[in-house]
A and B are shown apart, each in its own frame.
Chain A
Amino acid sequence: MQVTERSHKAQKVIDRLQKKLNRQMVLSLAGCVHCGMCTDSCHYVLANPDDPTYAPAYKADQIRKLFKRHVDWTGRVFPWWVKAKSVYSDEDLEELKDIVFGKCTNCRRCTLNCPMGVDFATANRMARGLLVSVGVMPEGVAVVSKDQWEIGNQMGVLKEEYLETLEWMDDELQDELGVRHSLIPVDKKGAEIMYTINPREIKYDPRTIADAAKVFTLAGVDWTMPSEGWDMTNFGLFSGDDDLGGTVAKRVYEKAAELGVKRVVISECGHGYRSTRCEGPNWGGVNIGFEMESAVITMLRYIKEGKIKVDRDRNSVPVTFHDSCNNARSCGLYEEPRELIHLVCTDFREMYPNRAENYCCTGGGGAMSMSEYTPRRLKSARIKADQLRATGAKIVITSCHNCVDGLSDLIKHYNLDMEVTQLVNLVANAVVIPEKIEVMEKPAAVVHTLKGFRILVIDDEPETRTYLSTVLEDNAADTIQATDGLEGIEIARKEQPDLITLDISMPQMDGGEVFARLREDPATRGIPVCIVTGKPELRKLIYDKPYRPPEGYLDKPVEEETLVRNMRKILELASGASKEAAETL
């Protein structure tokens, strides 16, 4: 056997290939009979008929040859017969990168046309993951992945910027609806719905957020936006990095669990929907205790249930609908958007082919962040441009942010007279504003400082008591300290503080028992409680009890900023809801 030196990176790729294989992958790598059925299903092939390197079977062979060479017995015995080959140098890896990132958007249209059930896009994603694991990837993918790992969202938006933008949209919506209280609740515990978005909405175009808030408000539902875990997009899907995928998805799941919501609603984003709802639990290895759905389904339900009324005559310009690959082909979401369009638009024109057979917007698979391949992308977009033109529509609707940008680019490139919009914009435009608006949340006063509020700190550790009290007093609150549960209950009854912070693990009477007694006593029942504990495993002592859950929950050690912000939020919400709270256990 010929011995050839292999570069460090190439060796790693070969070593890791074995670990990436599951039955689905092996089927896709072993199953191809080179019948050529996939060839004409690919938009790249259709736009480049003379270039065989775009054919899905050819592209797949560049990954398949590694599998044959290093895994499958045929390639180990007769490598020349089954075209088994390996990678040796960093240049070989660069060539592979050019194919798996630059010649495929992972749209999965070829999969639908394969009689053998080969899922090329899944193998392509696997190959991307192998390259990413040795640092071979387009720069755009690296930058965005880094932001998602480190800052928690793909556009590096800071928390205060996010919250400020929400407040801004809240103000705008208040002006539009003529009401004078907050309409976008943040971190509301126990809300029915947690709404998650694409960072593009917060950074560049928050109109979709205001539109969604308008729909939720007028539907009278109990909803909230999270202060963290709000980015439902996931570059793990594009880069093939399952660790990133799992970490990003878990941020959303953990926040939803912390807030105790019934349902996570995902704004109109194809890859975000697929990653968060369909793939994330597997990547993250977690079980999900709540429902997840696309905002398209949510809005459709509100109209069907009569929660909102719509006037479709307001959207009379001819529209067509572009199915996002991830929504339609990968997640089966294609009848609901059409049903919704018929309810909010008067002139809908179908695009052909459509639903699971639709062609990619050409911006999928993270292509929008890889400028180096833009000329190829725009060339292959001719297929989509022809499809769009044939509809005669003036507006193309899509339920995917990536498609919005992919379509906008090609519309400009091919000089089409068309605009791109999303369903949330059309629903918000069609929704009828009633004369009297009933809002779930009672008007909440905005609490800027803790001045004028009295907070009772119950904790047996002197250092913690001192720390919490000092931070709270530095922020202008008055504090009272209790060294154990019994003393705490006594003070709470007598002093009627505005808020109680409660430790769980304490001698004599644990925090669970203290919490129960506070909730049972009509004199203390209405006082908001924030659990501050270093032992999260004890949380069942609190949450297993048949009482209204605590208003806040913080893990020790708690940072100053986190503590103050949570205190403020609890006091804000309590100012609007304490009366009701006092009446429920």
Chain B
Amino acid sequence: MPTQELGGKQVEVDEDGFIQTPEEWTEAVAADLAKTEGVAEMGEDHWKLVNYIRDYYQKFGIAPMVRKLCKETGFKLKYIYELFPSGPAKGACKVAGLPKPTGCV
């Protein structure tokens, strides 16, 4: 399994760059992951989204539907794609420290 320098430490990632151990996640790790997904700087709304995804994942063990994201954060779908250009699955979930979503994504 490859490693990558994220947030000032070596973190194990899969071949698609998703971190392997959720415990390794810190805000600094997230900020570096964001850079790999075209987000130069994490703003307040980025964090709101990422934190919601993390909480949901810790509770239910899966990534939330985008419907839930929009409902709980109050963001429009279009805005989520503005925040994370690579989308909720590959962008936001990766920054939130989730494993790669399964299936055709």
Contacts and interface: CB of A to CB of B under 8 A. Distances in A.
A168 B105 contact: no
B7 interface: no
A81 interface: no
A204 B105 contact: yes
A157 B15 contact: no
B23 interface: no
Given A165-B65, A371-B14, A204 B102 contact: no
9 contacts: A147-B102, A154-B103, A156-B62, A165-B66, A204-B88, A204-B89, A233-B104, A371-B100, A405-B105
Interface of B is mostly: loop
A371 B16 contact: yes
A144 B103 contact: yes
Contacts of A401: 104
Interface of A is mostly: helix
Interface of A: 140, 143-144, 147, 154-157, 161, 164-165, 168, 172, 198-200, 202-207, 233, 269, 368-369, 371-375, 401-402, 405, 408, 412
A140 B104 CA distance: 10
B65 A202 contact: yes
Of the candidates B15, B89, B101, B104, the one having the most CB atoms from chain A within 10 angstroms of its own CB is: B104
Nearest to B88: A204
A157 B62 CA distance: 10
Nearest to B38: A412
Nearest to A269: B104
Nearest to B15: A374
A140 B102 contact: yes
A374 B16 contact: yes
Contact of B103 (A199, A371, A374, A375): A199
B86 interface: yes
Interface in B55-102: 62-63, 65-68, 70-71, 77, 86-90, 100-102
Nearest to A233: B104
A200 B104 contact: yes
Contact of B66 (A143, A205, A405): A205
Contacts of A412: 86
A425 to B, nearest CB: 12
Contacts of A199: 103-104
B26 to A, nearest CB: 23
Contacts of B102: 140, 143-144, 147, 154-156, 369
B65 A369 contact: no
Nearest to A139: B102
Nearest to A368: B104
